A and B are shown apart, each in its own frame.
Chain A
Amino acid sequence: MPKNETVTDLGLDEYKYDFRTEDAPVFKAEKGLSEELVRQISAHKEEPEWMLEFRLKALEIFYSKPMPDWGGNLSTLNLDEIYFYLRPQDEMQRSWDDVPESIKETFERLGIPEAERKILAGVGAQFESEMVYHSLKEEWQEQGIIFESIEDGLKKYPELFREHFATIVPPADNKYAALNSAVWSGGSFVYIPKGVKVDIPLQAYFRVNAEQMGQFERTLIIVEEGAEAQYIEGCTAPVYTTESFHSGVIEIIIKKNARFRYTTIQNWSNNMYNLVTQRAMVHENANMEWVDGNLGSKLTMKYPSCFLVGEGAHGEILSIAYAGDGQHQDTGGKVVHAAPHTTSLIISKSISKGTGRSSYRGLCKVYEGAVGAKSNVECDALLLNETSRTDTYPYIEIDESEASIGHEASVSKVGEEQLFYLESRGLSTEQAMTMVVRGFIEPIAKELPLEYAIELNRLIELQMEGSVG
């Protein structure tokens, strides 16, 4: 059993990033991006040649692509000031004292256990969850389930890895996928064999914690025919990190008759730029669900997608976005119908508070030949203050006449009558608002695992304080 490493107070500035190991050359972490850095990353991870080439090519693609001229405001994101690679040990050297008071308070209010607080603040090693992880791991190994770090996935299952890696999100897909492809580090590799049904959700924070806060995590999930599983990452408690840029890529392949759900709850601190590419390829009669909760970050741009390529495939995206003061959630979902009798559903609920802005951005594309395709999109936005903003930008491209496509969106504020009714039953205005907001997101919140739902509720309560007046 790995020892619980105690964190000692290290002077952050001078010592943090200089490191020496026995067999590797001195690694000095530097700000900014370069070919040299990419080579270092690959060498450090002892990757095969093809992966190094892949990374270098992705770096070139990143340089050649322009910044997107839509979505959120990325103008203050300065890539030269960012550390693109910190070894896991480097990331741990932060002191609890450096964590902002407001974050500590939130942990207190949310009742987060002591040990977990440190994890969330990127400050300690999680002993308890490691134990849980190890015992589950034995069980899973017997069934042939693979749940490793992405680096181990590449090392231990090279053929399986190479067959699927980057076939769902190629580096050229978009600028930030290219960046991730060049500097990816940390993430999960999951493989569920044929017919196996995993009843416990696979949780990202079960794994050895070092990679869990990875800025450029890369996850590859393969669900074989007839298999079923669930994956959860993130948490509702605020995650504090000095790093301010998170660009992840998640690729999922769901084969015939399989079922999979991927749940993310993100509550990054308000200095974070969160740009993620999440995409699933869904085969015949298979089922994919994305449950996406975006509560934090300064700017999130994330559109989980389902490519329905087999007949009868079904894809669903349930999205909650909360944009508080100074936040911009630019989220939504994409569905591509490329086979007959495929169905999809996107439900998006967003709340804008204070000067927050929530934007729904979605795509529904139906290729010719996708006969009998059915898609429904419903996006609702709730505005809590005069200064709150919301936008809706759906793209609907239908090239098949025998398809049935519907899209609806609405924007409203909390109704006076609703508030009046609740207040007349003894609730304060704040409590009434909280109830209404909870009711608003309920259709999606009920899909979350219980502990998340509870935390989400508490978080909403917290956020609603001071929302009135």
Chain B
Amino acid sequence: MSEFRTVAQFEDVPENALLGVELDGVSIVLANSDGEILALHNECTHEEFPLSDGEIINGQVECLLHGARFDLRTGAAKALPAVRPVKSYECRVEDGTIQVRL
């Protein structure tokens, strides 16, 4: 089981914001949904556009390009044209830092 690694500071992701980070070459998007930080793979499963360019709506992230939506917690596809879920990563906040486990 791999370890939790720090990818950002808690202040870097304010309420309702998205932030794209990289860990070991993997592109990850961090989302602050009602104070909780969640992490997903930063690539829409429709046409590979970065989800970090989109916006958070009601616990989902909406892709800027065609409006596809994914559940922030599970990564499940919630609106077409996405049909495949996006990978979700374990994420926690410790001592003000955001840590993700790949």
| A231→B62 CA distance, assembly (Å) | 31
Contacts of A61 in B (CB 8 A): 67
**Cα–Cα distance between A307 and B84 once the two chains are bound (Å):** 12
Q: What is the chain A residue whose CB lies nearest that of B78?
A: A167
A124-160 toward B: CB 8 Å interface, digit per residue (1/0)? 0000000000000000000000000000000000000
Of A168-176, A216-224, A316-324, the segment with at least 4 beta carbons within 8 Å of chain B is A168-176
Complex Cα spacing A336 to B62, Å: 20
A70 to chain B, nearest CB (A): 16
CB distance from A222 to the nearest CB of B (A): 15
| Chain B interface residue bracket vs A | 10 to 19
Shortest distance in angstroms between A220's beta carbon and chain B's nearest beta carbon? 13
Residues of A within 8 A of B81 (CB): 173, 307, 336
For chain B, residues 49 to 69, give those with C-beta under 8 angstroms from any C-beta of chain A.
62-69
Q: Find out whether the CB atom of B84 lies under 8 angstroms from the CB atom of A338.
A: yes
Nearest B-chain residue to A61, judged by Cβ? B67
**B23 in contact (CB, < 8 A):** no
Which of A169, A171, A367 is in CB contact (< 8 Å) with B80? Answer: A169
Whether B64 pairs with A167 at a CB distance below 8 angstroms is no
Chain A: minimal CB distance from B66 (Å):
5
A309 at the interface (CB under 8 A from B): yes
Output the nearest chain A residue to B63 by Cβ-Cβ distance: A172
Q: Are A170 and B62 in contact (CB under 8 A)?
A: yes
Which B residues are in CB contact (< 8 Å) with A239?
none
Q: Give residues of chain A (272-296) contacting chain B, Cβ–Cβ below 8 Å.
A: 279, 281
Residue B79 contacts which of A167, A174, A336 (CB distance < 8 angstroms)?
Answer: A167
Say whether A174 contacts B83, CB under 8 Å. no
Chain B 2-13, CB within 8 Å of chain A: the 1/0 string?
Answer: 000000000000
Q: Mark B76-95, 1 if CB is under 8 A from A, else 0.
A: 00111101100000000000
Closest CB of chain B to A166's CB: distance in Å?
A: 7
Interchain residue pairs A-B with the least CB separation, the first 3:
A170-B67, A172-B67, A338-B83
